[in-house]
């Protein structure tokens, strides 16, 4: 499971925002693997993302969406 699987999941649901946990369940992989792939997609500007405003520990939680 990788970036293409995540991209396809987001593309299939273009109007929905997802957490990395939602995405990991949707493509049946670990949250850690999904987070690494999502970071790469964020850095390459392939997906829309926004901070959820809720911090988990010292980390910011992001929501992800397909970039039309």
Of residues 46, 63, 59, 52, the one with CA closest to residue 3: 46
Q: Are 1 and 28 in contact (CB under 8 A)?
A: yes
pLDDT recorded at residue 59: 82
Q: Is the predicted pLDDT of residue 50 greater than 90, yes or no?
A: yes
Quote the strand ranges of the chain, DSSP E: 47-56, 59-66
- Rounded to an integer, the average pLDDT of 32-45 is 95
CA distance 53 to 32: 20
pLDDT recorded at residue 47: 97
The half-sphere exposure of 44 on its side-chain side, counting CA atoms within 13 A, is 9
Query: What residue ranges do the domains of the chain occupy?
Result: 3-66
What is the pTM (predicted TM-score) of this model?
Answer: 0.87
Return the H-helix or E-strand segment holding 16: none
pLDDT recorded at residue 24: 97
pLDDT recorded at residue 68: 85
Q: Tell me the CATH number for domain 3-66.
A: 1.10.10.10
């Amino acid at each position: 499971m990788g970036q293409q699987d995540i991209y396809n999941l987001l593309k299939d649901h273009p109007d929905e925002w997802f957490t990395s946990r939602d995405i990991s369940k949707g493509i049946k992989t670990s949250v850690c693997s999904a987070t690494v792939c999502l970071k790469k997609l964020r850095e390459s500007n392939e997906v829309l993302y926004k901070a959820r405003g809720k911090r988990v520990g010292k980390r910011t939680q992001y929501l992800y969406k397909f970039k039309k």
